[in-house]
C-alpha cells in the first residue's frame, strides 16, 4: 500500500514518499516517478516507450506498457512481461527498503533483473 493510501485510511501521519521525500507517494510516484524506481527502470525501458512515459497518468502508463508490442531484446521476451516483472521487483525492493532496516538495494538492479528474466 502506498503512503497516500495509508494516509487516507489514517494508518500514516504523512502521505510523503519515505525514499525521496516527495509530498505524495501514490502509485504513479512509487512505480514510475520516484528516483528510486527511475534508477531501477531507466536502462531497461525501450526507447520506443519513452514518449509520454513520464507524463502519462497511472492508467495510461499501465495501458501503454501492458499493450506494447515491443520485445525486450536483451532477454528476447515481450516488453509487457518484462514490465510486469520490473514493476513487481521495484515494489518488493521498495517495501523491503522501507520496512526491513537490514535490506540494502541491489547494487546493479538492471543487470539483476535481466539475469532474473532470462532464468524464468
Q: Report the first-to-last Cα separation within the chain, whole angstroms.
A: 27
Give the nearest distance from C-beta 101 to Zn ion in angstroms. Answer: 18
Closest CB to Zn ion among residues 51, 104:
104
Give the nearest distance from C-beta 115 to Zn ion in angstroms. Answer: 26
Does 27 contact Zn ion by CB under 5 A? no
Within 10 A of 55 (CB to CB), how many other CB atoms are there?
Answer: 8
43/52 Cα distance (integer angstroms): 16
Does 17 contact Zn ion by CB under 5 A? yes
Residue matched to cell numbers 494516509: 7
Closest CB to Zn ion among residues 19, 71:
19
Task: Give the CA-trace dihedral at 47, 49, 55, 56, to 10 degrees.
Answer: -170
Candidates 19, 24, 49, 64; binder of Zn ion (CB under 5 A) is 19
Q: In the Cβ-directed half-sphere of 111, how many Cα atoms lie within 13 Å?
A: 4
Among the residue ranges 12-20, 44-52, 66-74, 106-114, the one whose residues contact Zn ion (CB under 5 A): 12-20
Q: In the Cβ-directed half-sphere of 25, how many Cα atoms lie within 13 Å?
A: 26
Does 53 contact Zn ion by CB under 5 A? no
Does 20 contact Zn ion by CB under 5 A? yes
What residues make contact with Zn ion under the rule CB under 5 A?
A: 17, 19-20, 22, 34
Amino acid at each position: 500500500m502506498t503512503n497516500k493510501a495509508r494516509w487516507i485510511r489514517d494508518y500514516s501521519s504523512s502521505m510523503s514518499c519515505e525514499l525521496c521525500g516527495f509530498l505524495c507517494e501514490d502509485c504513479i510516484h512509487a512505480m514510475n516517478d520516484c528516483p528510486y524506481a527511475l534508477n531501477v527502470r531507466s536502462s531497461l525501458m525501450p526507447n520506443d516507450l519513452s514518449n509520454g512515459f513520464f507524463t502519462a497518468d497511472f492508467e495510461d502508463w499501465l495501458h501503454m506498457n501492458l499493450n506494447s508490442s515491443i520485445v525486450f531484446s536483451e532477454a528476447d521476451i515481450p516488453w509487457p512481461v518484462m514490465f510486469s516483472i520490473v514493476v513487481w521487483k521495484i515494489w518488493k525492493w521498495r517495501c523491503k527498503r522501507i520496512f526491513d532496516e537490514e535490506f540494502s538495494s541491489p547494487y546493479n538492479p538492471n543487470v539483476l533483473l535481466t539475469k532474473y528474466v532470462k532464468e524464468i
